[in-house]
Amino acid sequence: MSIKTFNVRTVATTPFNDQKPGTSGLRKAVKTFQQPNYLENFVQSIFDSAGPLAGKTIVLGGDGRFYNREAIQIILKMAAANGIGTVKVGQHGILSTPATSCVIRKYKSAGGIILSASHNPGGANGDFGIKYNTENGGPAPEKVTEAMFAISKSIKEYKILDADDVDIDKIGRQEVGSMTVEIIDSVADYQELLESIFDFKLIKSLLTSDFRMRFDAMNAVTGPYGHSIFEKRLGAPPDTVMYGTPLVDFGGGHPDPNLVYAHDLVEVLFGANAPDFGAASDGDGDRNMILGRKFFVTPSDSLAIMTANATLVPAYKNGLSGVARSMPTSCAVDRVATKLGIPCYETPTGWKFFGNLMDADKAALCGEESFGTGSNHIREKDGIWAVLFWLNILAVRKESVEDIVRKHWKEYGRNYYSRHDYEEVESDKCESLMQHLRNQLPTLKGRKFGKYEIATADDFSYTDPIDGSVSSNQGIRVIFTDGSRIVYRLSGTGTHGATLRIYLESYEADDSQHDHETQEALGALIKIADELATIKALTDRDRPTVIT
């Protein structure tokens, strides 16, 4: 079908002062994006900073949340007005973040625009987001996002084509002005990539045996991927995928795969006659939660176990060049890397920091404590990939999830680990708390709290080993002489106030001490964390919103 009507309009506009991208792009309330010119200003800032894009191919899709379809039509008309040659769009506007990275890389595209606020709630009163991924398939680096922000603060006009809307539900090619729009199968390219990584034949034999699994797509983007891969391709029963239809409001749920928000899956795995394996993914498909029968695997342990068992997966059978973790993620993977004799890199939070390491073949597996793991197959974390990784391990080892984890602890020791989130705290209160901690840093070394003595404390700064760029003020680290840690940082993924995250970690080598309840094992550190930061006094909160 050819759309005949086209006329490039140059629209006068004025800047918004709040379009600074965070670690995962620009996230705001839907109503903010619905303001006249708000989305258009930021999209024009992307085109002006990520170029030259004229005549090139970009990828476009999102997680299906409210305003996704409307935003796609605006972006397509702006792309045509800005001279872009081709836009590949996921059918129905659906394209997970990992799948977008895959498509960018497979077709050597100039980049891609992802419409998602990830694990944030959706719906008309929820959140929306937009981010740009570069030609390597990964999130735009800071120099690019800084350029976007600079342009957004001085923008005076944007370009848009007067044209009919594109039919994004029909696979095939359409023309918008002189630009080609190609509506693609949302799953096919990504599934093909995964089949090249894992032993699908072996996994299918597992899923068609008496082994049972459940996958919670949380009414978000991974529903179509779960149905296609787990049920149709690998032969799992048709009820394997829970909440498998993407909905604009995620069914009223919060698409964050943790023990609190994936409560229906947790009830199944911790209930009577529980399946052998459970997993969930988030709004845009890049996060994962792994469960065994009546057993939760922390994301930090998951990364360490993947690293220790990587050679069981065909794509990693020759070993790993290295691994990387975000600074707040537990040090469990460090111990595995040491035993394997491979480097382990510690980066700030944000998947973009792993990109340079993977491009330079310094790290093959990467992970964050916020339920994100991935590898150098793409340049994003990848929820479905992580689930398949675990299924591949389970199919080879023929042991339960709990047995695999406990054997890992016996060999490497257990890192008791937890994250306490204080959500939607007034931003100025959070900043005051962080400054209170910074003011103490010079005097903390040697300070004792019962059996704990502080060895060092700092505000984490990272120098990229590939390009030499420096990222400062990435979180307060308090490290004790026994290796235990407390980390404080503010999250950049929320849209209301600020989220204070406190990470607590205690290492236990003695396997006779591996059965304590996590919060109990971390009890002393929890009290120290509050004493150092005076959390209740400075935030007016007496308990975390979420504990994971």
| Beta carbons within 10 angstroms of residue 218's beta carbon | 29
Residues with Cβ within 8 Å of residue 13, at least 6 apart in sequence: 37, 40, 41, 155, 156, 157, 158
* E strand or H helix at 459: strand 452-459
- CA separation for the pair 155, 158 (Å, rounded): 8
Strands 498-508 and 414-425, bridge-based pairing: antiparallel
Report the candidate in 329, 353, 343, 344 with the shortest Cα–Cα distance to residue 464.
353
Structure tokens given for 67: 């305003």
The conformational region for residue 431 under phi > 0 = left, psi -120 to 50 = alpha, else beta, is alpha
Cis amide leading into 52 (omega within 30):
yes
Contact yes or no for 305/404 (Cβ under 8 A): yes
Q: 213-216 and 277-281: which strand pairing? A: parallel
Element (H, E) at 2: strand 2-3
Cα–Cα nearest to 65, from 184, 285, 286, 221: 221
Residue 465 CB contacts under 8 Å (≥ 6 apart), including other chains: 345, 356, 357, 362
- Cα 494–Cα 241–Cα 131 angle in degrees, nearest 5: 30
Alpha-carbon distance values, 215 to 212, 266, 437 (Å): 10, 11, 41
- Check residue 243 and give left, alpha or beta (phi > 0: left; psi -120 to 50: alpha): left
Burial of 125 (0-12, 13-18, 19+ CB in 10 A): exposed
Whether 452 and 482 have beta carbons less than 8 Å apart is answered as yes
The active-site residue out of 24, 118, 186, 370 is: 118
| Short-list 328, 538, 543, CA closest to 434 | 538
45 tagged catalytic: no
DSSP 345-399: EEE-SSTHHHHHHHHTTS-SEEEETTTEEEETTSSS--HHHHHHHHHHHHHHH--
Which residues form the catalytic set? 118
